[in-house]
Structure 1
Amino acid sequence: MGQLYGLDGRRLQEQYIRYLSDFMDWDQRSHAGHWVLFEQNIGEYLSLDEVCLSRGELYTVLTNKDAKGKKGALLAMVKGTISDQVIAILERIPYRLRKEVKEVTLDLAPTMERIARRAFPKARLVSDRFHVQQLAADAVQQIRIQYRWEAIDQENSEMELAKQLNHPHVPDILENGDSLKQLLARSRHLLFKDETNWTASQQHRSELLFARYPLLEKAYRLSRKLSHIFSNTKEKGIGFTRLAKWYDEVEKSAIKAFSTVARTIQNHYHTILNYFDNRHTNASAESFNAKIKALRTQFRGVRNVEFFMYRLAKIYA
């Protein structure tokens, strides 16, 4: 627009902020750099998450699921993740409105759980199933990475020995054309996917991988089984039974990385089991965070936090 009217772009933006928009008269401008609150957007089903806004600064974001990421979705946005500070802002919402909230979805962070319990005492808390599944997937990748470092170390030792003997180093090549190091590196993506979605080359690579690393196959099977429990279970009681059996399998496997996952599930099992009531996840919060980041990209960063909050409010509040 600046080029169209022969104006400097920054000058036009300044004119928009000061005169063309109602930003200067916005009732939340004085504190927008630290928090904004729109109590009229409260609903029965909420999502709680954090987002990185600018220069590594985290903001806690509370959204209304029923708005589906459109106008009316943004309920509150508070700088930082310190629970007491966020709770103090959310308690500005009248208690008669907060007690009507039926459910809050959130990740596994203890600070988020404390915020939700204090601000919405009548609400059922639901831990996001995808965060639980991500822990299991990370455990599988941890084992793969450990084996990859061992393969790299072995290859380096072989190269040094060949150099000492004045022989050319010829790495062992598997039947699909990968070296052992490449096999472990190129198996990253297939370990995130269900085997029904593997391509022919991924199927072949998995056969070579699991034949050499049976512990990695066991970890992969445990990870996929956990995912199938969340995908295929409709009732809370059945979900509890299946998760208990999965926990027993983890203990028998003696895989250290999965023991950590199992303990996390044990510590959060009340809120994890609540997922089976309505099968709600925190995907709406992740989607809203993506929209915030997209708007940030359009602004080419966030220099004026107050004005950025104003634009968010205009679009989503």
Structure 2
Amino acid sequence: MDNHPISCYHLGQYFQVDGKQLQEQYKEHISEYGSWDQKSHADQWMLFSKNVSTRLSIDETALSNGELYTIVTNKDARGKKGAILAMIKGTVAEDIIAVLKKIPERSRKRVQEVTMDMAANMQLAIKRCFANAHRVIDRFHVQKLACDAVQEVRIKYRWEALDQENAAIALAKKEKRHYEAEILANGDTLKQLLARSRYLLFKHHSKWTQIQKHRAELLFERYPVLEKAYNISVNLGEIFKRCKSKEQAFKHLAIWHNQVDACEIDAFKTVARSIQSHYLSILNFFIN
């Protein structure tokens, strides 16, 4: 169990012993959990200083009961043994700093790069604890902002379609006639088209199935602003895929900003302002 991902229950079944009892014995005796030096504070924070490397990543995640935890990982471990450097309950900058400063200063000064999102608390923690490290905002968090902007446009149109349908139903009822929704070429109603397009708008058009391509054609034919929003999001992703240097990325981001200015979509103007506020950390993504 120390070296392979198998539960006590399944191991007990294999050897025909009580799995629950084996779990208790493993926890209390074999695992040395009782003498673990981090047991007293493990519900608040855990730190494994030996896992520090020159390349780290920090992010927040929701575990049990929706509680947020800040997790610092060693990127060089690639998700395997030695990947977790620290796990801290909550996202308060001062709490994160207090734990990370327990890492020897010499080790902290060797850190060259920390990947993170745009949260101010994360930036403060990295600045205080890893003074020599480049702060890198990875493409996932940037692209997510653009995807959220596309979805905001879609949701706006969906609510409009629902309002129009409700008004049409009320009118039909008033006129004592049966209401029939328009059925599109793919069998969707308008509100179904907008609801069922959610997932295809997250995907690159090169990965659409034939059904999704047909749905996208119907969608963009009726909502050209949504097509424009989708293309702007895709163009942002292409910058991260194709640019090989900070200089090249800076040039293409400037062109992308011009596209946003021309599109007049409020959600994307918010995305553009966020990128502009963090552009130095975003450009650091292209160093390696």
User: Normalising to structure 2: TM-score of the pair?
Assistant: 0.91
Which blocks of at least 5 consecutive residues in structure 2 are unaligned? 1-8
Counterpart in 1 of 2:5? none
Equivalent residues of 1:236, 1:276 under 8 A apart: yes
**Equivalent residue letter for 2:57:** S
Give CA-to-partner distance per residue, 1:28-80, whole Å, 9 cap, x none.
22222222212111111011112223222222111111111111111111222
Mapped partners of 1:69, 1:163: distance in 2: 59
Cα distance in 2 between the residues matched to 1:146 and 1:124: 38
* 1:231 aligns with one of 235, 241, 244: 241
* CA distance in 1 between partners of 2:230 and 2:63 (Å): 35
CA deviation after TM superposition for structure 1 residue 106, in Å? 0.8
Within a 5 Å distance, the mapping from 1:241-280 to structure 2 comes to: 241-278=251-288
1:6 shift after superposition: 5.8
CA contact (8 A) 1:106 1:126 kept: yes
Matches within 5 A, 1:198-213: 198-213=208-223
How far is the alpha carbon of 1:12 from its aligned partner?
4.1
Matching of residue 65 in structure 1 with residue 80 in structure 2: no
What residue in structure 2 maps to residue 221 of structure 1?
231
Q: Structure 1: which 5+ residue stretches go unaligned?
A: 279-317
CA distance in 2, matches of 1:216, 1:209: 8
Which residue is 2:4 aligned to? none
Q: TM-score, normalised by structure 1?
A: 0.83
Count of aligned positions = 277
| C-alpha contact (below 8 Å) 1:126/1:272 kept by paired residues | yes
Pair 1:101–1:170, CA change in 2 (3 A): same
**Partner of 2:53 in structure 1?**
43
Structure 1 residues 18 and 215: alpha-carbon distance in aligned structure 2, compared to 1, 3 A threshold? same
Task: Map Cα deviations across residues 125-153 of structure 1 (whole Å, 9 max, x no partner).
Answer: 10011111111111111111111111111
Match of 2:199 among 189, 202, 213: 189
1:102 shift after superposition: 0.6
Which residue matches 1:138?
148
For 2:241 and 2:163, the matched residues in 1 are separated by 39
Residue 107 of structure 1: which of 117, 124, 130 is its match?
117
2:103 counterpart of 1:93: yes
1:149 equivalent to 2:159? Answer: yes
- 1:159-178 alignment, distance < 5 Å: 159-178=169-188
Deviations 1:100-132 (A, max 9, x none): 001000112111111111110000010011111
Distance in 2 between residues matched to 1:206 and 1:58, nearest whole Å: 36
For CA contacts below 8 A with separation 6 or more, give which structure has more relative contact order: 1
Residue by residue over 1:72-105, the C-alpha shift from the partner in whole angstroms, topping out at 9 and shown as x without a partner, is 1111112221111111111111111111001000
Distance 1:44 1:267 in 2: 26
**Equivalent of 2:37 in 8, 14, 27:** 27
Q: Does 1:77 align with 2:77?
A: no
The aligned counterpart of 2:128 is: 118
Q: How far off its partner does 1:26 sit? A: 1.3
Q: Secondary structure at the match of 1:274?
A: helix
Out of 41-50 and 165-174, give the one that drifted further. 165-174
Residue in 2 that maps onto 1:158: 168
After superposition, the C-alpha distances for 1:263-295 in whole angstroms (9 at most, x for unaligned) are 1101111100000111xxxxxxxxxxxxxxxxx
Contact 1:108–1:128 (8 Å) recurs in 2: no
Task: Tell me how large the CA RMSD over aligned residues is.
Answer: 1.6
